[in-house]
Amino acid sequence: MQLEDYFNFLAPNDIRLKGSRIGIETILYEYIYRNRTPEEIAKIYTSLSLDQVYATILYYLQHQESVSQYITEWLEWGHQMREEQRQNPSPIVQKLMKLKAEKEATKLKNA
């Protein structure tokens, strides 16, 4: 089995582990930024085998420059999406924020 056989290369910015919807960025974030061991990661993502976790780490080590760029773009995209959601909340989020503000105002008024 080749290392690449562990992955579905759906797009340049979308590499997932075969048999799952989990992207390599999810595993690598746990490994690189949260300093989790492969065994810990496999316990968190129970749909993955320990082999798949190790294959993801090995793929990263063999393609460090391109995968680092992939992760950087993924993190930037996530930041942009959170900022967009903050600036343009959905109607339900707006309603929840209004209810929270009303509750806070009532608390202050009754204090």
> Is the sign of the CA dihedral 72, 77, 82, 87 positive or negative?
positive
Q: Which structural domain range is residue 66 located in?
A: 3-110
The predicted pLDDT at position 16 comes to 95
The predicted pLDDT at position 46 comes to 95
Which CATH number fits the domain that encloses residue 63? 1.10.10.10
The predicted pLDDT at position 23 comes to 94
pLDDT < 70 regions, the chain: none
Quick check: helix, strand or coil at residue 33?
coil
The predicted pLDDT at position 75 comes to 86
Q: What pTM was computed for the model? A: 0.72
3-state helix, strand, coil in the chain (%, to 5): 70, 10, 20
The predicted pLDDT at position 85 comes to 86
The predicted pLDDT at position 18 comes to 96
Q: What percent of the chain shows pLDDT beyond 90?
A: 56
The predicted pLDDT at position 44 comes to 96
| Domain count within the chain | 1
Q: Are 16 and 23 in contact (CB under 8 A)?
A: yes
